Amino acid sequence: MARASIEVRDLVVRYGGVVAVRGVTFTVGAGEHLTLLGPSGCGKTTTLRAIAGLEKPASGEIRIGGAPVFSSSPAVNVPAERRGLSMVFQSYAIWPHMSVFDNVAYGLRVRKRPEAEVTARVREALDLVQLSELGARSASKLSGGQQQRVALARAFVFSPSVLLFDEPLSNLDAKLRAEMRVELKELQRRLDITSVYVTHDLEEALAISDRIVVMRDGAIEQIGSPGEIYDRPRNTFVADFVGSANLIRGRRRADLERDGLVVIQTQGGALVHGTASGGRPQGDDTLMAVRTVRLRLERARPATQVNVWPARIRRRVFQGDFTQYHVDWDGRVLVVRLATAEPLVEGDEVFVSADPRYCVLLEE
């Protein structure tokens, strides 16, 4: 199976007068699993469709395996069917007038493989998605999860060089989605194929990607590994979108900075030590983000030097997997999520602390 790299450079896509994608540049290494993450309307699906060849960009360049498949100058536009890619659609796009077998066999028959090979490979693919016994069934009589598996098998059976996924799990219910996420990851590793995945679901993106591209309004906000995206957001948008974070506003105190840490002072006077993710903003007024799960609450004062503050439990919300505490701190409320069932009750005086590694100075 040939693994191909993808290069996207200065990609611009317009719909009539609307610019859906405005100058996006990124690369996907051979065998890498990249995810485009962002809210609806951010241009992630349009970018994916441009790579697929289903959308004609206004300008820019797309290369697959080094060869240009789209370029505005010199003008190149390889039609989708000749790009050697494959795609799983959000709606699954299972053809209702064919059997499960015929759906999966389609790509092989297009490539005029001998029927014996078609049968063998479709069987193998259906085995891999655990639908071996459903081959003869009409595709219109499948559940959502089964359709999803057929769509998967159909997409990889003919050994494409790249697999594209357009929100493939968004039509499944929560439980099935969590299951399929794991299966999908396993399948990806087994097929050992380059993939580009589009989703608006953070957990999905964190679970299955090697790298994540966060997009907003047709532009890239941040590119990084799942860990980087989660713990070191570059700006408020990423911090906010990628999951629950406390944003702390304060003035830079460069005079107090040591050991590569940055320090800000809140209006209430608290000093917060943290790290800068990218470029450091010059202005006095700055923002720091710290994830709700990275904060700790203790009755006794912990033995760390910095980032320990007294606080008071205002509200406690039990949510099963974790307990969410709203604590009064520095004239405002911080949200803290703890997995352990700490015996803390509303009104308790506690110490809240944070590792400076997880307090991230934002660029904007």
Binding site for another protein (CB under 8 A): 52-54, 79-82, 84-87, 89-91, 93, 95-97, 106-107, 110-111, 151, 154-155, 158, 164
> For another protein, which is the closer residue by CB, 88 or 212?
88
Structure tokens at 16: 């009539």
The number of helix segments (H) and strand segments (E) in the chain equals: 8, 21
**CB 139, min distance to another protein, A:** 11
The whole-angstrom separation of Cα 315 and Cα 225 is: 34
Shortest distance (Å) from residue 115 CB to another protein = 16
Nearer to another protein, 54 or 293 (CB): 54
Is 219:186 a contact under the CB 8 Å cutoff? no
Distance (Å, whole) CA 142 – CA 171: 14
Distances (CA, A) of 50 to 81, 86, 90, 127, 304: 13, 13, 16, 32, 51
Least CB distance from residue 294 to another protein, whole Å? 40
* Least distance from another protein to the Cβ atom of residue 221, Å: 28
Return the H-helix or E-strand segment holding 171. none
What does the H/E/C string look like for 85-146? EEEECCCCCCCCCCEHHHHHHHHHHHCCCCHHHHHHHHHHHHHHCCCHHHCCCEHHHCCHHH
Cβ 173 to another protein shortest distance, Å: 18
Identity of the residue, 158 or 230, whose beta carbon is nearer to another protein in the bound complex: 158
- Structure-token match 């070191």, residue found: 232
> Taking the complex as a whole, how short is the minimal distance between the CB of residue 158 and another protein, in angstroms?
7
Give the residue with the Cβ less far from another protein, 106 or 351: 106
**Based on CB atoms, which residue is closest to another protein, 82 or 258?**
82
Peptide bond into 160 cis (omega under 30): no
**Considering beta carbons, is residue 159 or 275 the nearer one to another protein?**
159
* Closer CB to another protein, 54 or 191, in the complex: 54
| CB 86, min distance to another protein, A | 6
CA nearest to 19, candidates 53, 51, 60, 64: 60
Q: What angle do CA 132, 80, 170 make, to 5 degrees?
A: 55
